[in-house]
């Protein structure tokens, strides 16, 4: 059986050695986050904070900090959920093997939400936003945030839970221009179901009712981040995964209340009523800056008896949300590839912040009668990917042909890049999408939500041997220095980014110096601020390269040309991944807080050796 509450999950985790308690009073300003980050980095357990400064509520974090613990939490239902996903992809499987899939019917029954009687006065007390743990994770954050919310909205044209949306959109509880306890900020990004609901409410000129659930059975939090098709209720997934129907009721103001949640914040968003939200240290490893986002006017803040606040800390990946992504991939398996003809595998690279870098493998079957393959069908697949829900936020998409290497995997970054770079034709295989949307959190573009995309498609026989070290005859212009990253890739530093005009001079300097060389074994040069750091690990390389560059502005090449509006180059690509003036600040820990956590770790006890 699944858990009926967050408390029951915590009890079970502690019983099996997957949770530690911190009894010492901790400060919600940076200190709790610092402890969480230490524990996560060491592969440690979930953390229960019993004594939080200025709050009577305890809190828990790092529940999903490892994939193994996430699977442990859902150990009784995970296989059944995979079975349902499998059946959705191929319903005929149930007819071919009815005994194997017989349990799917009971799991499907658990997916049906259950409307209970109105019992808020009995089951829930009320509090204020300021009484909730005011957790601030990073020094420049604009205030305390809800970082594990389940934001519930309904379609005003089709009200009811079966047409509702449950999403994990961050909530700013204070700071900026918000009136304490009366207003909070509601931040959501592109391609989110809540946007459809607010659009419809705005068109009717009516407020959008919003309920924010925190806590409850862990399946509810996972449901909020699950990439379900538009129109499919996340509450059904939450019920199936918990093996416990999602219980809910409506209070006397018409707000939907999750009966099993620990906290429920209700309120309304009036059409076009915004206030500045942010900054917030986000999962790309930078701050998302202050921008106008919907203003939610708080109605009530419910909490159950012995409520537990659930939170997480995001930052440069990997973090706890990485395990969320791994679990989602484990559940859905090949579901997305089956929805796009010819697609075999897709991987949003977590180390690069997910949306900035996407790897894919597709079939190349358009001209099997020719000896040499070239990108044709995989370009069609690439277009399909970039039109598919949140996959459309991908900024760089590298796609290869399955037929070239059936054993190739998108989850091995170095091997996949090597495969691509051995085959790519830089004169014809680069395909740009300019003046388009990118991830809201990506500040490499010229303004919020706006940037460009680049598809790099490679198919066919190996075209070159990549250099594993640079030839002795190779040299860089004066003031430039390089480090080898991977075969065929070097990181180059020595020149600070000043402005666009100066950047053009830097590129021209490289071009004039290198265009006389035969550089066939070198395919990519990354212009960066610190070549030593960039080349040190594959994760550093993809994080720097693909979070700090905007393809239309920052991709250059040796001996570049434009022919019939198609851009290409005859020598290596140059990706300018230096930090620019319009980029968001990098997340940096507070030194004084780190020293306090060091001292806490030295006291020994259950934290000794973990932080």
Q: Angle at the Cα of 211 (from 207 to 216), degrees rounded to 5?
A: 175
Mean pLDDT of the chain: 91
Residue 397's CATH number: 3.40.1670.10
The pLDDT confidence band at residue 120, using thresholds 50, 70 and 90, is low
- SS3 state of residue 115: strand
263 and 154 in a single domain? The answer is yes
Residue 93 confidence (pLDDT): 44
**pLDDT at site 337:** 72
Residue 422 within any structural domain of the chain: yes
Higher per-residue confidence, 335 vs 268: 268
Q: Is residue 201 part of a domain?
A: yes
Verify that 289 and 190 share a domain, yes or no. yes
CB-count burial class (<10 Å; 0-12, 13-18, 19+) for 609: exposed
Comparing 333 with 574, the larger pLDDT belongs to: 574
34-50 mean pLDDT: 96
Look at residue 105 and tell me if it is in a domain: yes
Q: Does residue 402 register a pLDDT over 50?
A: yes
User: Do 194 and 45 have their domain in common?
Assistant: yes
The predicted pLDDT at position 372 comes to 87
Indicate whether 492 belongs to any domain: no
Same domain, 303 and 326: no
String of b and e for 455-479 (b: at least 16 CB within 10 Å)? bbbbbbeeeeebbeeeeeeeebeee
- The first and second tokens of residue 57, run together, are 């509520």
Q: Find the domain containing 437 and state its range.
A: 320-458
Q: Can you give the pLDDT at residue 102?
A: 42
3-state SS assignment for residue 172? strand
**Per-residue model confidence (pLDDT) at position 336:** 67
At 601 the pLDDT is 74
Tokens matching residue 530:
């610190």
400: helix, strand or coil: strand
Instruction: Report the C-alpha gap between 316 and 537 in whole angstroms.
Output: 14
Give me the CATH number covering residue 91: 2.30.110.10
440 shares its domain with 302: no
For the ranges 53-67, 86-100, 325-339, 557-571, the lowest mean pLDDT is seen at 86-100
Final residue of a structural domain among 439, 458, 477: 458
Residue 184 in domain: yes
pLDDT-derived band of residue 118, with 50, 70 and 90 as boundaries? low
Residue 291: left (phi > 0), alpha (psi -120 to 50), or beta? Answer: beta
Could you please report the per-residue DSSP string of 528-592? -S-HHHHHH-HHHHHHHHHHS--HHHHEEETTEEEETTEEEESS-EEEE-S--TTSPPBP---HH
Q: What is the pLDDT of residue 608?
A: 47
pLDDT tens digits along 87-114 = 455 444 434 454 444 455 445 667 889 9
Least confident of 169-183, 341-355, 435-449, 480-494: 435-449
Residues 329 and 384 in one domain: yes
pLDDT at 270: 96
In the chain the first and final C-alpha atoms are separated, in Å, by 33
More confident residue, 606 or 484: 484
Q: What digits encode the pLDDT tens for the residues 121-140?
A: 557 899 999 999 999 999 99
Residue 16 lies in a domain: yes
The last residue of one of the domains, among 458, 488, 508, is 458
Same domain, 161 and 38: yes
User: Cis peptide before 256, with omega less than 30 degrees from 0?
Assistant: no
Check residue 99 and give its pLDDT: 43
Number of domains in the chain: 2
Model pLDDT, residue 94: 38
In terms of domains, do 306 and 324 share one?
no
The mean pLDDT value for 240-259 works out to 93
Position 582 in a domain? no
Q: 426 and 335, same structural domain?
A: yes
Q: Band of the pLDDT at 323, cuts 50, 70, 90?
A: confident
Q: Are residues 53 and 183 in the same domain?
A: yes
Higher pLDDT, 66 or 226: 66
Q: Which of 22-31, 103-112, 192-201, 577-586 has the lowest mean pLDDT?
A: 103-112
Give the pLDDT band of residue 338 (cuts 50, 70, 90): confident
Residue 74 lies in a domain: yes
Band the pLDDT of 5: cuts 50, 70, 90: very high
pLDDT for the residue 229: 56
Give the residue with greater pLDDT, 605 vs 244.
244
Average pLDDT over residues 392-408: 96
pLDDT tens digits, residue range 281-304?
999 999 999 999 999 999 999 999
What value does the mean pLDDT take over residues 354-369?
94
Same domain, 154 and 294: yes
Pairing of strands 171-172, 145-146: antiparallel
pLDDT of residue 331: 81
Per-residue model confidence as pLDDT tens digits over 177-190: 999 999 999 998 76
Q: What is the pLDDT of residue 69?
A: 96
User: Which residue has better confidence, 388 or 377?
Assistant: 377
pLDDT band at 607 (very low <50, low <70, confident <90, very high): low
Check residue 446 and give its pLDDT: 83
Of 427, 458, 489, which residue constitutes the final position of a domain?
A: 458
- Whether residue 260 is found in the same domain as residue 358: no
Question: pLDDT at position 459, please?
Answer: 97
**3-state helix/strand/coil string of 228-256:** CCCCCCHHHHHHHHHCCCCEEEECCCCCE
* Percent over 70 (pLDDT), the chain: 91
Q: Is the pLDDT of residue 210 over 50?
A: yes
pLDDT at 499: 96
* Residue 1 scores a pLDDT above 80: no
Instruction: Spell out the residues 6+ positions from residue 474 whose beta carbon is closer than 8 angstroms to its own.
Output: 517
Cβ density class 495-530: b for 16+ within 10 Å, e for less? bebeeeeebeebbebbbeebeeeebebbbbbbbbbe
């Amino acid at each position: 059986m699944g858990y009926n509450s967050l408390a029951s999950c915590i009890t079970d985790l502690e019983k099996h050695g997957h949770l530690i308690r911190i009894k010492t009073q901790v400060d919600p300003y940076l200190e709790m986050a610092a402890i969480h980050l230490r524990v996560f980095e060491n592969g440690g357990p979930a953390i229960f904070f019993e004594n939080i400064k200025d709050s009577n509520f305890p809190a828990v974090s790092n529940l999903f900090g490892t994939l193994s613990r996430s699977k442990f939490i859902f150990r009784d239902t995970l296989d059944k959920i995979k079975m349902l996903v499998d059946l959705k992809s191929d319903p005929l499987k149930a007819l071919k093997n009815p005994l194997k899939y017989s349990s799917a019917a009971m799991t499907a029954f658990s997916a049906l939400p259950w409307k209970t009687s109105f019992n808020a006065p009995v089951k829930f007390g009320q509090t204020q936003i300021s009484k909730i743990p005011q957790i601030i994770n990073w020094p420049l954050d604009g205030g305390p945030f809800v970082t594990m919310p389940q934001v519930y909205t309904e379609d005003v044209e089709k009200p009811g839970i079966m047409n509702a949306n449950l999403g994990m959109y961050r909530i700013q509880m204070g700071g900026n221009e918000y009136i304490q306890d009366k207003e909070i900020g509601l931040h959501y990004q592109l391609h989110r179901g809540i946007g459809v609901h607010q659009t419809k409410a705005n068109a009717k000129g009516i407020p959008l009712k919003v309920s924010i659930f925190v806590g409850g059975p862990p399946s509810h939090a996972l449901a909020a981040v699950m990439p379900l098709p538009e129109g499919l209720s996340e509450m059904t997934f939450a019920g199936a995964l918990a093996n416990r129907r999602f219980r809910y009721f409506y209070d006397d103001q018409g707000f939907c209340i999750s009966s099993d949640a620990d906290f429920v914040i209700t309120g309304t968003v009036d059409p076009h009523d915004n206030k500045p939200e942010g900054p917030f240290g986000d999962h790309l490893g930078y701050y998302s800056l202050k921008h106008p986002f919907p203003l939610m006017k708080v109605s009530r803040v419910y909490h159950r008896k012995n409520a537990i606040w659930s939170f997480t800390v995001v930052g440069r990946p990997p973090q706890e949300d990485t395990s969320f992504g791994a679990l989602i991939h484990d559940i859905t398996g090949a579901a997305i590839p089956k929805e796009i003809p010819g697609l075999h595998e897709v991987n949003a690279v977590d180390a690069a912040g997910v949306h900035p870098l996407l790897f894919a493998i597709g079939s190349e079957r358009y001209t099997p009668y020719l000896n040499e393959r070239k990108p044709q069908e995989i370009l069609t697949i690439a277009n399909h990917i970039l039109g598919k829900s949140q996959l459309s936020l991908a900024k760089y998409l590298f796609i290869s042909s399955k037929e070239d290497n059936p054993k190739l995997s998108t989850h091995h970054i170095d091997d996949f890049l090597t495969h691509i770079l051995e085959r790519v034709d830089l004169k014809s295989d680069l395909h740009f999408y300019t003046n388009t949307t990118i991830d809201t959190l990506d500040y490499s573009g010229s303004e919020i939500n706006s940037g460009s995309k680049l598809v790099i498609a490679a198919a066919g026989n190996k075209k070159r041997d990549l250099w594993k070290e640079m030839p002795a005859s190779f040299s860089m212009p004066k003031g430039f220095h390089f480090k080898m990253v991977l075969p065929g890739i070097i990181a180059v530093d020595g020149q600070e980014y000043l402005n666009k005009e100066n950047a053009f001079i830097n590129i021209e300097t490289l071009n004039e110096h290198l265009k006389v060389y035969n550089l066939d074994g070198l395919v990519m040069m990354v212009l960066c601020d610190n070549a030593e750091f960039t080349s040190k690990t594959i994760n550093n390389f993809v994080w720097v390269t693909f979070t700090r560059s905007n393809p239309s502005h920052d991709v250059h090449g040796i001996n570049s040309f434009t022919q019939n509006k198609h851009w290409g180059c005859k020598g290596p690509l140059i990706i300018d991944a230096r930090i620019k003036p319009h980029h968001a600040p990098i997340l940096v820990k507070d030194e004084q807080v780190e020293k306090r956590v060091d001292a806490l770790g030295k006291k020994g006890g259950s934290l000794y050796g973990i932080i």
